[in-house]
Amino acid sequence: MRFPFLFLLLCCTPFSQSPAQQKLSNLPYRDGGHERHVLDIYLPAQKSDQLRPVIFWIHGGGWQAGDKSDVGLKPTVATAKGHVFVSTNYRLLPHVPMEQLIDDVAAALGWVRRNIATNGGDPNRIIVGGHSAGAQLAAILCTDSAWLAKYDVPFTSLRGCIPVDGDTYDIPKIIATAEHRQMLYGGKMFTFGHRQKFGNDPDQHVRFSAVTHVAKDKHIPPFLLLYFTGNPDTGAQARRLAEVLQASDISAKAFGKADTNHSQLNDDLGKPDDPATVEYQAFIDSVLQ
């Protein structure tokens, strides 16, 4: 339950300021919603007469944990380049099923498209990204238009998609891979693995897989898929989605980074000497041209 005085405090708290950016915290994106139906907006400190590109970020945490504050250097780098950065929360498993969880993120993006211009953002130049579970959520929103159509967000308003180290762009394949590995090496079968998280229904596993929805002439945006080379699952899934996109004439690149790990890959995005950051920034620059 959100208490009225706390809601007022969170919504009306002035911008926190730094030399490079301003931050507006805990904006509700659903009327009368859950305490996790909130997002943060990071703005360049310097005003502009023109609307700015928007990066919309989805946190990871296995769909069961995580917070919109897990953004690392990305907002600082975005605002330094004159972009608006948005990071959203959403409800989590097992409190809601996957369908409602995805719908939350779609609703947040719908709120951004309707309202971001009041904070200087361009509703028609949005890049969607996310890490881990957030990578799957970013990928499904950018390939299955039904989620965003509900909130009047056309694919033509999306300039790019940046999933980072996700392993669930093709859910039936990752379920088969993980369970076969357990069977071969005598591990205990999962009680709340990908099979259960995505509904324990083969049709739902297909539905929630980004590869299922890729097709020509849907205005699916370009993709940059970042992954850690030490994880064979995220690498295989990134290459799988990239190949499916490319087969439909959609620009896509899978880039692997070594000498890191699942969390550090995300945390290091924004460091100037980081190879994944170089790819990340080049991609953003190219899709915004």
pLDDT, tens only, 38-51: 999 999 999 899 99
Amino acid 83 reads: H
Amino acid 204 reads: Q
Report the C-alpha gap between 269 and 27 in whole angstroms: 25
| Among 239, 265, 258, 284, CA closest to 78 | 284
Q: Which CATH superfamily is domain 13-287 in?
A: Alpha/Beta hydrolase fold, catalytic domain (3.40.50.1820)
255 DSSP β-pair partners: 226
Distance of CA 272 to the CA centre of its chain: 22
| Sheet bearing 158-164, strands edge to edge | 16-17, 21-28, 38-44, 84-88, 52-58, 121-131, 158-164, 223-228, 252-257
Which tens digits make up the pLDDT trace of 114-136? 999 999 999 999 999 999 999 99
Residues 6+ positions from 51 with CB-CB distance below 8 Å:
117, 120, 121, 122, 123, 125
- What does residue 116 show for φ and ψ, rounded to 5 degrees? -70, -25
pLDDT of 18 > 80? The answer is no
The mean pLDDT value of the chain amounts to: 94
**Cβ count within 10 A of residue 149:** 13
pLDDT of 94 > 90? The answer is yes
pLDDT of 7 > 50? The answer is no
What is the structure's pLDDT at 20? 63
Report the C-alpha gap between 28 and 234 in whole angstroms: 32
pLDDT band of residue 6 (cuts 50, 70, 90) is very low
Radius of gyration of the chain (CA): 18
pLDDT of 4 > 70? The answer is no
More confident residue, 79 or 19: 79
DSSP H helical ranges for the chain: 4-12, 74-80, 98-115, 133-141, 145-149, 171-185, 194-197, 202-207, 232-247, 262-267, 275-287
Q: CA angle, corner 229, sides to 224 and 232, nearest 5?
A: 100
Q: What's the half-sphere exposure (Cβ side, CA atoms, 13 Å) at 265?
A: 30
Domain ranges in the chain are 13-287
